[in-house]
Amino acid sequence: MLFENRIDAGRQLAEEVDVKNPEKSVVVALPRGGVPLGIELAKKRNIPFDVILSKKIGHPSHSEYAVGALSEHGDPILDETTQELLDQEWLDTELKRIRNEIARRQRMYSKEITKKPLKGKTVIIVDDGIATGMTMKAAIEAAKAQEARKIIVAVPVIPKDTYKELESLVDDIAAVLIPETFKGAVGAYYADFKQLEDEEVMEMLHTYENTDA
């Protein structure tokens, strides 16, 4: 099964999410790829929408391989098996770079969308898919740091082993596909998985915020 694009994935994902009290909930999406899905889910279920920033820490030799992640709140999440192999000076420099990038995006996105408080809310964290789960783990910790009452992870595709790893960290996981054998990359489950640029995300947030108003 292939999702046509992120909009299609968001619409299908909305059917999988069970929300009892929309008015006491917040959908938070991981930019950039999670934003179109999160907006679709928020609109369909009439739930307030926001973004939550969490970035992968890529391996120094293979940047696509995640050795950890860092969110807008809390400490970095690091893979225990590789952490001790990393050069501490490199890691400190990389964490500083990522923190600066997160701060830059916070300033940028705040121009288009009003920050929603998560304290005491059911928080639905949305991304366009999960592979290792590192970025999502950091987002989960960020939601916990903001005292979310309940946390639901919502993604169109997540490998079964990652699902099992994450389910003890949250109250629920909503997913369309939970493959036993993962194709190796989230993009393999999409017909159109083009990378989104900041300008496109800003436009989506602007349109959502104005329509919501």
pLDDT tens for each residue of 5-34: 999 999 999 999 989 899 999 999 999 999
pLDDT: is 62 or 113 the higher one? Answer: 113
Of the pLDDT bands very low, low, confident and very high (cuts 50, 70, 90), residue 213 is: very low
What are all long-range contacts of 162-169, with beta carbons under 8 Å and residues at least 24 apart? 162/130, 162/131, 162/132, 162/133, 165/133, 166/130, 166/133, 166/136, 166/137, 166/140, 169/137, 169/140
The C-alpha atoms of residue 79 and residue 207 are separated, in whole angstroms, by 37
Give pLDDT, residue 84. Answer: 80
The C-alpha atoms of residue 27 and residue 15 are separated, in whole angstroms, by 14
| Domain 6-212 CATH class label | alpha beta
Domain residue extents for the chain? 6-212
The C-alpha atoms of residue 43 and residue 27 are separated, in whole angstroms, by 10
Nearest to 137 by CA among 50, 68, 82: 68
Structure tokens at 153: 């992870």
- Rg of the chain on CA atoms, in Å: 16
Give pLDDT, residue 166. Answer: 98
How does the average pLDDT of the chain come out, rounded? 95
pLDDT tens for each residue of 85-141: 889 999 999 999 999 999 999 999 999 999 999 999 999 999 999 999 999 999 999
pLDDT tens for each residue of 166-189: 999 999 999 999 999 999 999 999
pTM: 0.94
CA distances (Å), origin 27, targets 52, 98, 148, 151, 154: 9, 24, 12, 10, 9
